Amino acid sequence: MNPVQPRSLARALFPVLLAVVLTVSACGRGGGSDRPPEPGDRSVAKVQDETIWASDVKREAVAQGLVGEGEPLDVTSDLFRRVLDEVIDQKLLAREAERRGLDNSALAQRRLAATRERILGDMLVETVVNGEIDDKAVETIYREQVRLAETSEEIRSRLILSRTREEADAVIGLLAQGAAFEAVAQQRSIDEATRFSGGDLGYATLDVLPQAYANALRDKPAGSTVGPFQTEGGWAVLRVEDRRKETPPTLEQARPQIVRYLTYEGVRRLLEQLRGKAEVEVLLNGDSTSQEPASAPAKAPAAAPAPATPAPAKAS
C-alpha cells in the first residue's frame, strides 16, 4: 500500500458529511414538461412521455459523488451516458411500481414523504447556503491556503519495503555496495504500489505521511538514505530525492474543494440556527434494549446447537 495519503487543500474538508446533507433521491426527479427546468438545459432522453434533462443526470451524478457540485459533466462523456442509463432504469422501475399500485401503500407514502423532505432540504441549501458562496469568499479561502503553503515544504522520496528487519538490513548492504536504489526497489520491495516505479513516492508534505515516515524524513537532506525503521506494513528504507517549498494549486484547481468546504460550513451554521430555534426531543431515554420496528421482516428460528465435538486425544 502506498503510504502517502492525498492532501486536502484546507486539511479539514468534510466531503462525506456534505454528501449526506446534499443527497437527493432519484424519485421525483424530472418532470413531464418539454420546457427546460434550468437555463441552457437540454433534453437527453424520453421515457414514454417524460423528458429527462441533462440537469437530471448531473444531479444524479452529484448525489452519487461522481462529480462535485460545481464541476462540469460533459454530455458526450462515458460517465454521463452511464448515469443517464441509471436514471432511465430508475424511471422505468418507478413507472412499473405505480402501475402495480405500490405507491399507494402506507410504507411507500412514508418513504416518498422522506424523499420529499430530503429534496426540500437540498433546495434550502441551494437557496440559502450556495447563494452566499461567491468569488470573493472562494478567493479569500484560497489566499489563506496559499499563505499556509508558503511555510510548508514538500519532500520527494523513494521507498523499499521489506517484510523483516533481516531483509531490510540486506537492502542496506546492497545500497552500501553501490546498487541503484531504483533497481533494488524493483527487485526487493514488497510495496506493489511503488516498486515498479523504483519506489517513487512522489512529492508529499510531512502532515500527509504516516507518523513513522514523517519522523524519519523530518530533518534529512536530499540525497540521504534513511532506515531501516518499522512501519505497519513492514520495515522501510527511504531515500530523500528532493526537498522544496510546497507548490499550491491554482485558484481554478482549488475551487471545487473550496466550494465544498464553504458549503459544509454554511450547512453546519444553518443547522445550528435551526436546532437553536426548534424544540427537539429525543425519546430514547437511555433505553439500551433493541427493538425492531413492526415492519421488519420476521427472523428465521435459530438453529439447534450442533453437538459438541470431542477434542482429539493428545499423543503420549
Mapped onto helix, strand or coil, the DSSP state of residue 133 is: coil
For residue 82, the model assigns a pLDDT of 93
202, containing H or E segment: strand 200-205
Long-range contacts of range 117-120, CB-CB < 8 Å, 24 or more positions apart? 118/23, 118/24, 118/25, 119/24, 119/25, 119/28
Phi-psi region of 161 (alpha: psi -120 to 50; beta: other; left: phi over 0): beta
Q: Which of 20-24, 59-63, 123-127 has the highest mean pLDDT?
A: 59-63
35-80 pLDDT, tens digit per residue, is: 787 788 888 998 888 899 999 999 899 888 898 877 888 989 999 9
pTM (2 d.p.) = 0.44
Greater confidence (307 vs 104) lies with 104
Mapped onto helix, strand or coil, the DSSP state of residue 201 is: strand
Q: Does residue 228 have a cis peptide bond before it, meaning omega lies within 30 degrees of 0?
A: yes
Strands 50-53 and 225-230: unpaired
